[in-house]
Amino acid sequence: MDEVRIIEIQRSVFSNNEKQANKVRDQLKQQKTFLLNLMSSPGSGKTSLILQTIKSLRDDFKIGVMEADIDSAVDAERIAAVGIPAIQLHTGGMCHLDAGMTMQGLKEMNLTELDMVIIENVGNLVCPAEFDTGAVMNIMILSVPEGDDKPLKYPLMFSTCDVLLVNKIDYLEFSDFDMTAVKERALKINPSITIFEISAKTGEGIDMWAEWLRKAICNWIAA
Amino acid sequence: MDEVRIIEIQRSVFSNNEKQANKVRDQLKQQKTFLLNLMSSPGSGKTSLILQTIKSLRDDFKIGVMEADIDSAVDAERIAAVGIPAIQLHTGGMCHLDAGMTMQGLKEMNLTELDMVIIENVGNLVCPAEFDTGAVMNIMILSVPEGDDKPLKYPLMFSTCDVLLVNKIDYLEFSDFDMTAVKERALKINPSITIFEISAKTGEGIDMWAEWLRKAICNWIAA
């Protein structure tokens, strides 16, 4: 395995993040590359979900991954170990990615050869929701051990995302997590959010999520 | 149960947070009130840990709690339900508390009647570590389902805290969490951090933590 490249990204110089985000999306559209922005708390299973998604979709699409963290390259190394192009972005202490920072990362990827790039945003249920990265789709994970009250406390994240993946359902039997309540709470904030129940560890529910994502990517490329 | 008061706190107007934090500590010292700042990811068990700590120490100290969240009052309601004075701070979307925001909260508590105030900071492993709240002691929770790689990714939080509580050890048997590795990683970043293994759910390990905290409070009040 080649060593993973670590890119030290800089604070964005752009005052209008929305404008930059639209620029990113225009460029992606031209290159027919789907950009997926994955957000969650630390430790909810983002990297494991990416690995499962790669496993399901790698025969259909050429996939690349940008891992964002304040420090370490452990996540990008896990992705690179399965033969997928991955870079590690270090955010210089920043708690989120914005469009300018995403652009800096995308410049290091060979976009003309990729159908999809997955961003693993910094593990944080607050700040990443405030900044449009330029992604085509925003998705989030809530893991069962985090508890079913999270939509009440972090409503912006739930309102920003197109998809909620409820992960670690293999923990359900040891937990008092109320799946019905969490769905009701998420849908109250965001009636158009699509919800999947998964275990990135056991693979349960991954097929349905991957099939749904496959269609979304095809629709976007065809549009 | 009285209804929990929700305080909408404002962005701080102070440019020098460190100076404000020292002011908070001076005031606490005069009033002999110990301020404990609890930080962690969302859903790692902060409120449950506070409830267990209250149970162990309420006969010895008069305790109050300030819950910080972007939205909802569910945490403060859980604390108030056991008869402990609790207020809910709403941060107006802010991802952390600083000293000025902590001051706004403390003004709403009857400090002369309290030996200890516990702050439950916003669930976030990044931003709260950057802002001194004026607390006498900073502590953090890492819960087993979050994984043992967190010190590598969020080093500032581990370096800022006096205590690491590894929570949800009742999940250890279903997990590949490496306790030895997490301790080594945390101690490498912060050699003086004190580590306890606990389950806020089952109560395991709480006695040792509470006894340690009791001594720390007594030492601080006596000093």
**Structure confidence at residue B2 (pLDDT):** 59
Neighbour tally for B3: CB within 10 Å: 9
**Is A152 part of any domain?**
yes
To the nearest whole Å, the CA of A41 is away from the closest chain B CA by 6
**Cβ A95–B124 below 8 Å, yes or no?**
yes
To the nearest whole Å, the CA of B213 is away from the closest chain A CA by 26
**Is A222 part of any domain?**
no
Neighbour tally for B209: CB within 10 Å: 21
Q: Which residues of chain A have pLDDT under 70?
A: 1-2
Cβ proximity of A137 and A55 under 8 Å: no
- Alpha-carbon distance of B133 to B38, in angstroms, equals 11
Q: What is the mean pLDDT of residues B61-67?
A: 98
By CB atoms closer than 10 A (0-12, 13-18, 19+), residue B121 is: buried
Amino acid at A7: I
Mean of pLDDT over chain B: 95
Segment (H or E) for B165:
strand B163-167
- Backbone phi, psi, residue A35, to 5°: -115, 120
**Structure confidence at residue A223 (pLDDT):** 83
To the nearest whole Å, the CA of A207 is away from the closest chain B CA by 23
* CATH value at residue A170: 3.40.50.300
Cβ proximity of A33 and A116 under 8 Å: yes
**Is A221 part of any domain?**
no
**Structure confidence at residue A66 (pLDDT):** 98
**Is A64 part of any domain?**
yes
- Alpha-carbon distance of A158 to B28, in angstroms, equals 38
Chain B residues lying within 8 Å of A147, measured CB to CB? 43
What does the radius of gyration of chain B's CA atoms come to, in whole angstroms? 16
Calculate helix-pair angle for B99-106, B17-31, nearest 10 degrees: 30
Residue A41 has its nearest CB partner, among B41, B153, B156, at: B41
**Is A127 part of any domain?**
yes
- Per-residue confidence at B15, pLDDT binned at 50, 70, 90? confident
Q: Tell me whether B173 touches chain A (CB under 8 Å).
A: no
Task: Look at chain B and report how many structural domains it folds into.
Answer: 1
Neighbour tally for B90: CB within 10 Å: 17
**Is A107 part of any domain?**
yes
- Alpha-carbon distance of B200 to A128, in angstroms, equals 29
Residue corresponding to tokens 């509470």:
B210
- Alpha-carbon distance of B95 to B92, in angstroms, equals 9
Portion of chain B with pLDDT greater than 70, in percent: 99
Give the residue from A146, A124, A168 showing the smallest Cα distance to B45.
A146
Q: Tell me whether A171 touches chain B (CB under 8 Å).
A: yes
Q: Tell me whether B74 touches chain A (CB under 8 Å).
A: yes
Is 70 exceeded by the pLDDT of residue B203? yes
Residue B43 has its nearest CB partner, among A72, A74, A146, at: A146
Total residue count of chain B as it appears in this document: 223
To the nearest whole Å, the CA of B95 is away from the closest chain A CA by 6
**Is A157 part of any domain?**
yes
**Is A223 part of any domain?**
no
What does the buried/exposed string (b/e) look like for A132-156 if buried means 16 or more CB atoms within 10 Å of the residue's CB?
bbbbbbbbbbbbbbbbbbbbbbbbb
**Cβ A71–B122 below 8 Å, yes or no?**
no
Q: What is the DSSP letter of A72?
A: -
**Structure confidence at residue A161 (pLDDT):** 98
- Alpha-carbon distance of B35 to B28, in angstroms, equals 7
**Structure confidence at residue B13 (pLDDT):** 77
**Cβ B41–A123 below 8 Å, yes or no?**
yes
**Structure confidence at residue A114 (pLDDT):** 97
- DSSP letter for each residue of B183-213: HHHHHHH-TT-EEEE--TTT-TTHHHHHHHH
Q: What is the mean pLDDT of residues B146-164?
A: 97
**Cβ A124–B124 below 8 Å, yes or no?**
yes
Cβ proximity of B84 and B65 under 8 Å: yes
- Which of A121, A146, A189 should we substitute to test contact with B (largest number of B Cβ atoms within 10 Å)? A146
Each residue of A61-120: pLDDT tens digit?
999 999 999 999 999 999 999 999 999 999 988 999 999 999 999 999 999 999 999 999
Cβ proximity of B174 and A169 under 8 Å: no
Portion of chain B with pLDDT greater than 90, in percent: 92
- Alpha-carbon distance of B99 to B119, in angstroms, equals 12
Q: Compute CA distances A207 → A49, A58, A202, whole Å.
A: 12, 13, 12
To the nearest whole Å, the CA of B76 is away from the closest chain A CA by 12
The complex scores an ipTM of: 0.89
Find the domain containing B111 and state its range: 5-10+17-222
Is 70 exceeded by the pLDDT of residue B1? no
